Structure 1
Amino acid sequence: MPTAANTRLRQVAVLGAAGRVGRAVTAALLQQDIHVNAVLREPTRYDLPRNARLHVVQGDAQHLEALTDTLGTVDAIVLSVTPFTAPPSSFDGFDLDYYTNIIAGIDANWHSARRRLVAIGLTATLRLDSGGTFMEDPSLFPPELTPFAQAHARQLPALAGTTLDWAILAPPAGFGSPHEPAVGQGCRLVVEPLTRQQATAHLTYAQYAQAVATELLQPTIHNARVAVIPPA
């Protein structure tokens, strides 16, 4: 893993730092001596690890105009928010532009010389080598969750319309599986299309967080979406 000594990156804002992915990414960044601004809507509801380099900021990713000062201090942002803590019983009233609007807010309110964004992707949006996307195969993805996947899919064209230096990292379907060890054991980035085996592989949060931290510290993916899977 790279260290802060060999990169100019010093401060990162993690939007959605209290979620399972956000917490793992925050921990991985803190291990690299990076200062993390953890942006939470309700900070008092969450108990993040104490660290001198961790600064908890109250804010809403859907209203980033109120966080212009905070965003102006960071070199990179991790977009790890989700509209649901669990699959909803209904998607009635759900805004398919949920992520699109957040990306527009980031682009409009983040005034910094270096604007590196890593967005947490969704397996369902990935293209398979058998044709079509993961979400289009009902044997792989529950059709009732399609609106959530469609909202994620809209990140790609939304980001393409910005001047951000961005990357979408999508984990496989076996993400956060208890069958994998609790510590990261490496990972690799794969360009679409994926095989069914790759798309359904097991990957721990620690492995995924390692990939995100690396793409922030030493970027290799620019303006593209890739999958994060276990090492071969």
Structure 2
Amino acid sequence: NNKFFDSPKVYNVIGEIPGTDKLLKNEVVLIGAHIDSWHGGTGAADNASGCIVMMEALRILKSLGVSPRRTIRVALWGGEEQGLFGSSGYAEKYLADMQTRVHKPDYDKFAAYFNMDNGSGKYRGIYLQGNDMARPIFEEWLRPFEDMGAATVTIRNTGGTDHQTFDGLGLPAFQFIQDEIEYDRGYHTVMDTWERLSLDDLRHNAIITASFAYNAAMRDARLPLKPAVEIRAAPANRMIPAPAMN
């Protein structure tokens, strides 16, 4: 039942819980996953699993009747497999020129982004994407889930999916660490079917995603940006020596 379209347009699916704080309600905490998949299979692990978690996280928050200070928005991105087109289009429209990096009005209203795109395996923590300023915040947020096996906060970067769109613009954007299960053996193939999903792990992930989104929406300040790195040009006609090898 796969559908193919001749149009070059890419579509995103957006839903949100509006913010309630008169000063912060226009700021956005974004959670997301890509809704497209490869043509070979049904795209269950890559990435219906992420879409399931993001929709369930929003459902959890809605069912609890929360009143977040900031708006919590879920985005299911199109065109990720072809080059992060859905998230890049969103960023281009609302956040910054993707070529010049000139900021648009909503750039300073962007509070955080949390992404899932590694199959249906259980969350074990979160990648900081080099943003060590967020470490103590995430360690505190993960503390209630230590007994569930989610406690790791690593400085490492992970790539290849939609959080990179926002991270590349200098915004606080993160990907969760997950168990691989069978992800690397089945994604982008005819084997990527629903029976390989772990529903218990998806429930676990939705709970943590909902908690992170709510915490980000309720704190006084937006999540910190990672420090800018100054890149200095080499003097004219001089080569920069390669670092010594150990």
TM range (shorter): 0.3 to 0.5
- Identify which of structures 1 and 2 has the higher relative contact order when contacts are C-alpha pairs closer than 8 Å and 6+ apart: 2
Alignment TM-score, normalising by the size of structure 1:
0.35
| TM-score of the pair, normalised by structure 2 | 0.33
Larger Rg: 2
